[in-house]
Amino acid sequence: MNTQSKDLFDDTAMSFGEHLEILRVHLWKAILGLTVAVVATLFFGNRVISIIRAPIDTALLEHGVTDYVQDDIKEDFDLLAYLEAFFSDEEEQTEEPAEKTAQEIEDEKIARSTIEVVIDARELAGALHEHYPETYPVLPEAKTSEPLTISLRAPEFAQFKDTRDQQHKMVTLTVQEAFLTYVKVSVVAGLLLASPWIFYQLWLFVAAGLYPHERKYVYIYLPLSLGLFLGGAVFCFVLVFPFVLDFLLSFNQWLGVTPQIRLSEWISFALLLPVMFGLSFQLPLVMLFLERISIFTVETYRDKRRMAILVIAIISMFLTPADPMSMMLMMFPLVILYQLGIVMCGVSPKHQSPFEAAS
């Protein structure tokens, strides 16, 4: 009888301790790659924020909450210049813009404190005649009247314009909220940017302990898993967000309230929902895994299809915070992916246990 051990480390020349050392090396390489990616994304985190903000800005514009798309972040964040200025003893480290002349300052102040009012010329003439009949005579009758534009100026108009502009912008409720949100978005963007390198380092370690046919599965299903996740996230961002935001903003209008969006809460929501869709789109691979470890069979998947559709509908209801349309947008792809899982389990026959294959 062959009593040879089938431990995964038997086919290698390394001991368990040496495997741990290799794990430490690849883990540090993955962390180093992630750090470099996060530092890089800190320079253009504003662009990522503008992409994430695009759906809510468009929805607010369509619902008349604002009359223009926000474009608050104009320039990339110069991290090196900021750090240099922060740690320098000199008081002025950045180039100041050219000073405006007194006339330019006065013109801007007048423009901010001036509004234009369009009134009916005949109504104005009638009001003047009513108060000063001797100075302003009655105008002759006419079928039409020309609109008249009058400029009104007062310091309160400038305050009114500032209040209106601020009301249409996202808000932060604490001093550190904007900074923490910027860092959070940069870290997530850096993680996505470095994910191929991180997965590659993890794969270099894991591959040493796998059998050849198991490595083949990883080469096939790892890209498929990544594609399903990205497909679910993009599907949510492009198709689901418009329905979700339309429902939520319509509900605000129905209640008669004006939404004032908090930046950190929207960023968290805009990052969480695509992740939920990306994870839910892993359904075919989860089904294949459960079938391979003999928890379920293809016949069970087919026989319990109606029950699976009911479970998918319930899960979709809880994962989508909006109307039935957004629920359907998650439910229908998952039903299709469930059928894809059945097909994958059927066309890819189950192999022997790796330990039986090696005996």
**Per residue in 19-53, pLDDT tens?**
788 788 888 998 999 999 998 888 887 888 888 88
Q: Is the pLDDT of residue 89 over 50?
A: yes
Note whether residue 54 is domain-resident.
no
pLDDT at residue 339 in the model:
92
CB 148 within 8 A of CB 183: no
Does one domain contain both 156 and 191? no
Note whether residue 57 is domain-resident.
no
In this predicted model, which residue has the larger pLDDT, 114 or 336?
A: 336
Does one domain contain both 206 and 125? no
Domain count, the chain: 2
The domain containing residue 223 runs over which residues?
16-46+181-358
Note whether residue 211 is domain-resident.
yes
218-222, 311-315, 337-341: which has the minimum mean pLDDT?
A: 218-222
Does one domain contain both 220 and 298? yes
Contacts of 168 (CB under 8 A, 6+ apart): 60, 65, 66, 67, 68, 70
Note whether residue 73 is domain-resident.
no
CB 259 within 8 A of CB 249: yes
pLDDT at residue 9 in the model:
44
CB 187 within 8 A of CB 35: no
CB 9 within 8 A of CB 15: yes
Does one domain contain both 132 and 189? no
- Helices then strands, each counted (H, E), the chain: 15, 2
pLDDT at residue 86 in the model:
59
- Convert 98-132 to b/e letters by CB count within 10 Å (16 or more is b): eeeeeeeeeeeeeebbeeeeeeeeeeebeeeeeee
Q: What does the block give as tokens for 267?
A: 């960023």
Note whether residue 79 is domain-resident.
no
120, 145, 167 - which closes a domain: 167
Does one domain contain both 223 and 157? no
Closest by CA to 265, choosing from 86, 109, 18, 53, is 53
Pure H helices in 63-99 = 79-87
Does one domain contain both 148 and 292? no
Does one domain contain both 142 and 187? no
Note whether residue 129 is domain-resident.
yes
In this predicted model, which residue has the larger pLDDT, 14 or 302?
A: 302
Closest by CA to 287, choosing from 271, 308, 266, 310, is 308
Does one domain contain both 295 and 163? no
Q: Is the pLDDT of residue 3 over 50?
A: no
Note whether residue 76 is domain-resident.
no
Does one domain contain both 20 and 161? no
Please state the rounded mean pLDDT for residues 73-85: 59
Q: In this predicted model, what pLDDT tens digit does every residue of 186-210 receive, in sequence order?
A: 888 888 888 888 888 887 777 766 6
pLDDT at residue 75 in the model:
56
Note whether residue 60 is domain-resident.
no
Q: Which helix (H) or strand (E) holds 314?
A: helix 305-319
pLDDT at residue 356 in the model:
46
Report the mean per-residue pLDDT for the chain.
77
Does one domain contain both 153 and 193? no
- Convert 164-179 to b/e letters by CB count within 10 Å (16 or more is b): eeeebebeeeeeeeee
In this predicted model, which residue has the larger pLDDT, 112 or 99?
A: 112
Does one domain contain both 260 and 293? yes
Does one domain contain both 151 and 254? no
144, 167, 190 - which closes a domain: 167
Express as a percent the part of the chain with pLDDT over 90: 9
